[in-house]
Structure 1
Amino acid sequence: MSALTGRETGARRAAAAPGTRRARHRRRAPGEPRAVGYLYVLPALAVFGVFLLWPLAQTGWLSLLHWDGLTRASWAGLDNYQDLLTDPELRVPFAHAAVLLLFYAALPVAVGLLLTAALTRFRIRGMTFFRTVLFLPQVLAMVVVGVAWRAVLAPDGLLNDTLGALGLSGLARSWLGDDTWALPAVGTIGTWVETGLCLVLFLAGAQRIPRELYEAARIDGAGPVREFLTVTLPGLRAEVAVALTLTLVAALRNFDLIYITTSGGPGNATSVPSYEVYRRAFESGEVGSASAMGITLTAVIFALTMVVTRFVEGRSR
């Protein structure tokens, strides 16, 4: 009897031992990922690999070749990337992209924050209407935006007609055909497009900031500037990160707006990397150089988004 009892006790201890499969199963947290979970994401991973990773790898391979798209390719190694660093003609599009970052990212975020600060401090009727109107450029296709603004900025367009009606005809010019003003004109269109997106994001984030924080700041005698810096801006850190990421990517991958409005001109005054990739690959027959520029642009976008994400995560800790 005692031997039987001892065996039963030993079996129970073995069953309850931490090293047994049953014990590990009981200790496993609910919802812990299992191997079968990867089967659910496998279709998405397959699509991601086929339509993104594989073309990216192919582009990386083409960037190591001298190829015109038709004849036999020859090995180039890193020559195409070296040209990006040494050839001024290839560096100019990246300099233009850096300028567009100001118009596409910095200005929309700054204007969106200022408008959000004003709208959170003062109650304005028709907020839904204004929010819809400001967000409208995001709904329109960029081709439509480009065609509309090309008509506005034409030599006989609405802007010059308005300046003439105000007695400022001396300021009228061919905005998209001027070497000095073409890039700022395109950047202004980008500011108009992206400001609505930033404002809607910031207004949505401001709604979840507790009103008690604003009341406490006002009791402490905080003015509008201090209230913005101590309450609104810290509460919108995550939304600012999202807005910066979206606008930075929009600025660097800008192609359709450039293609519709200026086609990189006059000369190369508005040439940007994405448009230069298209021009070199499909017009000049420099597929290897275009691929190297595309890979470099991808790396720049990835690096900038990582910097924004790390900065926000570091400040939020």
Structure 2
Amino acid sequence: MTVTPPPRRLPGRRPAGAARGWLLLLPALGAYVGFVVWPLGMGVQYSFYDWNGVGQATWVGLENYVTVFSDPELRGAIGNAFVLLLFFTVIPVGTGLVLATLIRSLRSGAFSRASQTILFLPQVVPLAAAGIAWSWMYAQTGAVNEVLSAVGLGGLTRPWLADYDTALPAVGLIGSWVLTGLCTVLLLTGISKIDRSLYEAARIDGAGWWREFFTITLPGLRQEIAVLVTLSVIAALSTFDIIYTSTQGGPGRSTLVPGISIYRIGFTQSDVGLASAFGIVLMVLVIACILPIQRLARAGER
């Protein structure tokens, strides 16, 4: 039998499928360049100038970046953002792990579905609306103080968002409330993909709940946890909506975060150069926090 060799591809020519693929990619690529790459490049350029957004721009080199790291107010805003990491990341992910494990132990039914729906509801509420609603509940005559008074803890009541000591934790708890549902649902989905035979084998060996959790559940959720930590870190460092609608950075500077500072510098003080520099610094901080998380997640797959 004669075997016909495949036709030789002429050098330098690409298959038609690759050309069609690039044509399909062009709209999305153009949108990404126009709405992400180009504004980012312009932001980097503006960060080296002293410019009010209207008049003549003056080259100042790295002066704006020096101001970001030398100004106590701006450094404090960065510090507050890292404090919010505890509330936006550790609490939601930890609580989500516990809730997802407990819901998994329940039989699939109306209660399990209803609990998932109720927990996920805060995720669909706009952050601005969540900030406004919680600011009402945190007021001196709000629901939080009313509940404390009803259970005999009236001595703890205070205007939570107007107190220098409690304003930042109170705002952080709003973020925890918003993100806990997302963490629970995503982790519950991840648990459902873990082979049930692993749990059965662990029970046969006499493993308890804690042993199952740390040897089967937690390693099996490594990718889901990495995704949630990445999303929550970005939310904590770039938060704006909740702070703006609840405290606007007050009282004083106790809840000031980079997003609010950039908004004020750029739109209130009309210092586009400094606002751009702070934005670039914030982007670098986010990337610096996310890259180790992604590297650890990949290392765990090996």
**TM-score category of the 2 structures, normalised to the smaller one:** over 0.9
> Could you tell me which of 174, 187, 210 is aligned with 2:159?
174
What do the CA deviations read for 1:92-146 (whole angstroms, capped 9, x no partner)? 1110000101100111011111122223334475111010010001111111111
Q: Using CA pairs below 8 Å that are at least 6 residues apart, which structure has the higher relative contact order? A: 2
Distance 2:127 2:211 in 1: 38
Distance 2:151 2:240 in 1: 34
Distance 2:17 2:83 in 1: 45
Query: What residue ranges of structure 2 are gaps of 5+ in the alignment?
Result: none
Q: Match of 2:165, SS?
A: coil
Q: Which residue of 1 aligns with 2:58?
A: 74
Answer yes or no: is 1:21 the counterpart of 2:5: no
**Match runs of 1:219-230 below 5 Å:** 219-230=204-215
Q: Which residue of 2 aligns with 1:86?
A: 70
CA drift at 1:70: 3.0
Distance 1:134 1:76 in 2: 50
Answer yes or no: is 1:296 the counterpart of 2:281: yes
Distance 1:153 1:196 in 2: 21
CA drift at 1:22: 7.8
Q: Is 72-81 or 195-204 further displaced after alignment? A: 72-81
**Match runs of 1:153-192 below 5 Å:** 153-192=138-177
CA drift at 1:76: 1.2
Q: 1:116 to 1:92 in 2, by over 3 A?
A: same
Q: Is the 8 A contact 2:162 2:251 kept in 1?
A: yes
**Match runs of 1:192-207 below 5 Å:** 192-207=177-192
Answer yes or no: is 1:64 the counterpart of 2:48: yes
CA drift at 1:69: 2.3
Q: 1:133 to 1:16 in 2, by over 3 A?
A: same
CA drift at 1:233: 0.8
Count residues with an aligned counterpart.
300
Q: Which residue of 2 aligns with 1:252?
A: 237
Larger radius of gyration: 1
TM-score using structure 1 length: 0.89
Query: What residue ranges of structure 1 are gaps of 5+ in the alignment?
Result: 1-11
Q: 1:33 to 1:100 in 2, by over 3 A?
A: farther
Distance 1:32 1:269 in 2: 59
What do the CA deviations read for 1:163-219 (whole angstroms, capped 9, x no partner)? 222222210111000111000000000000000000000001111111111000111
CA drift at 1:62: 0.8
Distance 1:39 1:303 in 2: 34
Q: Which residue of 2 aligns with 1:280?
A: 265
Distance 2:250 2:301 in 1: 43
Distance 1:33 1:197 in 2: 39
Aligned AA (2:54): L
Q: 1:32 to 1:215 in 2, by over 3 A?
A: farther
Distance 2:225 2:150 in 1: 40
RMSD: 2.4
What do the CA deviations read for 1:220-245 (whole angstroms, capped 9, x no partner)? 11111110011111111111111111
Distance 2:181 2:138 in 1: 21
> Could you tell me which of 246, 259, 264 is aligned with 2:249?
264
Distance 1:74 1:36 in 2: 46
Answer yes or no: is 1:233 the counterpart of 2:233: no
CA drift at 1:305: 2.3
> Could you tell me which of 88, 113, 117 is aligned with 2:97?
113
Distance 2:68 2:280 in 1: 11
Q: 1:58 to 1:116 in 2, by over 3 A?
A: same
Identity in percent? 46
TM-score using structure 2 length: 0.93
**Match runs of 1:302-313 below 5 Å:** 302-313=287-298
Q: Is the 8 A contact 2:106 2:112 kept in 1?
A: no
Aligned AA (2:66): Q
CA drift at 1:17: 8.7
Stretches of 4+ moved more than 6 A in 1? none
Q: Is 136-145 or 122-131 further displaced after alignment? A: 122-131
